């Protein structure tokens, strides 16, 4: 993983035991926990166990239903702008 920028990467629970060319500096810049498996040559950064990690936030769900597709330009919704009075 030489050259990979792991700053702020969430490695919690990842199995990195067989990862090639992983450097200690990359781990030091990432987030992890006790479940993160590391190669034997590397050490678990102190901040992985010392700080409580905040859970990953999920985006809020909108109460409005999802829109399905786009309206055509100039299209009039059903029941609007028509003379349905026969």
Q: So what's the pLDDT on residue 2?
A: 85
Domain of 46 in residue numbering reads as 1-50
Residue 27 maps to a domain: yes
Specify if 7 maps to a domain: yes
pLDDT along the chain (86 residues), means of 10: 92 95 96 94 88 63 66 64 56
Domain count for the chain: 1
Cβ neighbours of residue 50 closer than 8 Å, sequence gap 6 or more: none
Q: Determine, yes or no, domain membership for 30.
A: yes
2 in a structural domain: yes
Residue 46 lies in a domain: yes
What is the per-residue pLDDT for 49?
A: 77
What is the pLDDT at residue 32? 94
**Helical H runs in the chain?**
24-29, 47-50
Q: Does the residue 80 lie in any domain? A: no
pTM of the entire predicted model: 0.57
């Amino acid at each position: 993983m030489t050259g990979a920028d792991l700053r702020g990467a969430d490695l919690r629970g990842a199995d990195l035991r067989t990862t090639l060319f992983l450097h200690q500096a990359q781990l030091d810049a990432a987030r992890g926990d006790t479940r993160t498996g590391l190669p034997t040559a590397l050490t678990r950064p102190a901040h992985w166990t010392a700080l409580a990690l905040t859970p990953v936030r999920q985006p809020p769900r909108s109460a409005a239903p999802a829109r399905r597709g786009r309206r055509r330009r100039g299209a009039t919704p059903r029941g609007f702008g028509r003379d349905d009075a026969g």
